[in-house]
A and B are shown apart, each in its own frame.
Chain A
Amino acid sequence: MLILECPYCGVKAEETELGAGGEAHLKRYGPGSDDDQFHDYLFMRENPKGVHFERWRHSNGCGKWFHAARCTMTMEVFGTYSAQTYEPPQEIKDKITAKRPGWSWREFSDASE
Chain B
Amino acid sequence: MKRYSAFAVAREALRYHTGWERAWRSPEPKRHYDVIIVGAGGHGLATAYYLGKNYGITNVAIIEKGWLGGGNTGRNTTIIRSNYLQDPSAAIYEKARSLYETMSQDLNYNVMFSPRGVIMLAQTEHEIRGYKRTAHANALQGVQTEWISPERVKEIVPIINLHGPRYPVLGGLWQERGGTARHDAVAWGYARACSDMGMDIIQKCEVTGVRVENGRVAGVETSKGPIDCDKMGMVVAGNASHLSEMAGFRLPMESVALQALVSEPIKPCMDVVVMANTVHGYMSQSDKGEMVIGGGTDAANNYTQRGSFHHIEETVRALVETFPMVSRLKMLRQWGGIVDVTGDRSPLISKTPVGNCFINCGWGTGGFKSIPGSGWAMAELMATGHSPLTEEFTIDRFKEGKFIDESVAAGVAH
Which residues of A are interface residues toward B (Cβ below 8 A)?
A: 1-2, 15-16, 19-20, 22-23, 35-36, 39, 42-45, 47-49, 52, 54, 56, 70, 72-75
Contacts and interface: CB of A to CB of B under 8 A. Distances in A.
Contacts of A39: 398-399
Interface centre among A2, A19, A22 (most CB of B within 10 A): A2
A49 B303 contact: yes
Given A45-B252, A47-B251, 12 more contacts: A1-B309, A19-B299, A20-B299, A22-B254, A43-B343, A47-B253, A47-B255, A48-B241, A49-B239, A54-B300, A73-B302, A74-B304
B344 to A, nearest CB: 9
A66 B242 CA distance: 27
B163 to A, nearest CB: 28
Nearest to B340: A47
Please tell me the size bucket of the interface on B.
20 to 34
Interface centre among A22, A35, A45 (most CB of B within 10 A): A45
B303 A35 contact: no
Interface centre among A35, A42, A48, A72 (most CB of B within 10 A): A72
Given A1-B308, A72-B303, A43 B242 contact: no
A47 B302 contact: no
Contact of B308 (A15, A44, A72, A73): A15
B301 interface: yes
Interface centre among B301, B303, B343 (most CB of A within 10 A): B301
A19 B300 CA distance: 9
A23 B299 CA distance: 12
A73 B257 CA distance: 11
A20 B254 CA distance: 13
Contact of A72 (B252, B302, B310, B399): B302
B253 A73 contact: no
Contacts of A35: 399
B398 A49 contact: no
B253 A45 contact: yes
A44 B303 contact: no
